[in-house]
Homo-oligomer: A and B are copies of this chain.
Amino acid sequence: MTTRRHFLGAASAAALTAPAILRGAATRSWAEVEKILASGNVKGRLAKDEIPTPALMLDLDLFEANVKKMVAHARATNRALRPHGKTHKCPEIAHYLVKQGAVGACGAKLSEAEVFAAHGVRGLLVTTAAVGKHKIERAVRLAGVAPDTVFCVDNAGNAQDLNDAAAAARRKVWVALDLCVSGRTGVMPGAPAVALAERVAKLPNLQCKGIQAYAGSAAHVKGWEKRRAASLSLMTPAIETRAELNKRGIGTPWLSGGSTGTYNIDSHIDGITELQPGSFLFMDTDYNVIGGKETGEVYTDFGNALTILATVVSRPTDAHVIIDSGFKAMATDRPFLPVPKDPELKFSFGGDEHGKLVSSGGALKLQVGDRVEIIAPHCDPTVNLYDRLYCTRGHAVEAVWSIAARGMSQ
């Protein structure tokens, strides 16, 4: 069991960069703040305590350090890096990652990739197959806009349909074989995958670029050695399938795997050429508890850059306060609760719209109007609740980025 104290040790780097509780001391009027927000030019003009809460906050110093570390690791281990856009859904972040050295971005669904492409992001890998007449039409259209987009296929009928639609549009569409290595989507490795690859190779309007094998169930295995064993065991059939295809003359230039949990595992497995982690950008409390390579029970490779800024809206008793952030402000899919940056506070959900804070030690000092920051419990579904990401350095808001692909699950 990872204790709360252990975990807070991990979170302490984040806690040092900004005061944990900000008294609401806004002096500008809301009309002025609204004008600044609408202008899109916030740098030097907006303070953290002027942001309407609940709000999704990104600590740029921590975020940039996370990116730097992952990019350096991929470079050192000679792996391509295609971070998963389902985590951030934010074109600014996708562009920043490419500038730092990523080969592109993954999109979980077609509609997410469409948004990235419309914002000029290239090198896209759509990690779920485009299924059905309409989605296939959209995929072919997207290939017209961003021809280096790679679409996953795991089914012969779907590959045939995609080929036919591409032929009708006189277009070549790039695909990757999606292998099922962890109980989610994909064709089974081995014979079924080889049979599919051979069929795809015969389809004139598809071009196979690689293999995707995402071992989701390895990503969260607790303990680095156990996680390493899990990833090795799950990825081996994918690596063997790739070798078999190469033997048969069916080229699969790359094999994309890797998660925030396995980035420093998969990068040392021969045959995995590309990493597609996402959560490392923000680092959530869910990943904090999986254990690190050198750090034991708590995983501290990346800093907790993503928080929810909340306001105390009620203090019914001296023992607890209510904040304005509940199920609609934070992911709820994992049992691990959101963690306030202030180690003296304990959070629990109070329904759709509210959360409850109590003191873990002495008297509860929070008053109505005070602001608190809470580390995001599971970053991907948390990000998906917000339209804007407020990017800060210390107390200043440096930018407001649009989470343009928020809600794009289609």
Contacts and interface: CB of A to CB of B under 8 A. Distances in A.
Q: By CB atoms of chain B within 10 A, which of A108, A131, A216, A317 has the most?
A: A131
Contacts of A320: 183
Interface string A124-160: 0000110111110110010000000000001101100
A316 B185 contact: yes
Interface in A7-44: 24, 26, 29-31, 33
A52 B369 CA distance: 42
Q: By CB atoms of chain B within 10 A, which of A141, A311, A381 has the most?
A: A381
A385 B155 CA distance: 29
Contacts of A349: 333
A407 interface: yes
A331 interface: yes
Contacts of A137: 29-31
A86 B24 CA distance: 26
A368 B157 contact: yes
Interface in A351-385: 351-354, 356, 368-369, 378, 380-381, 384-385
Copies of the polypeptide in the assembly = 2
A207 interface: no
B54 A409 contact: yes
Q: By CB atoms of chain B within 10 A, which of A111, A187, A353, A368 has the most?
A: A353
Interface string A284-298: 000000000000000
Contact of A86 (B86, B158, B184, B352): B352
A24 B132 contact: yes
A134 B368 contact: no
Contacts of A314: 129, 154-155, 178, 180, 184-186
Interface stretch (A233-241, A321-329, A393-401): A321-329
A313 interface: yes
Nearest 6 CB-CB pairings of A with B: A185-B314, A180-B316, A332-B333, A30-B134, A30-B137, A52-B410
Given A128-B353, A154-B316, 20 more contacts: A24-B132, A30-B135, A30-B141, A31-B137, A50-B134, A128-B313, A128-B354, A129-B314, A180-B316, A183-B316, A185-B316, A186-B314, A187-B316, A216-B351, A324-B409, A332-B333, A385-B385, A385-B409, A386-B407, A406-B407
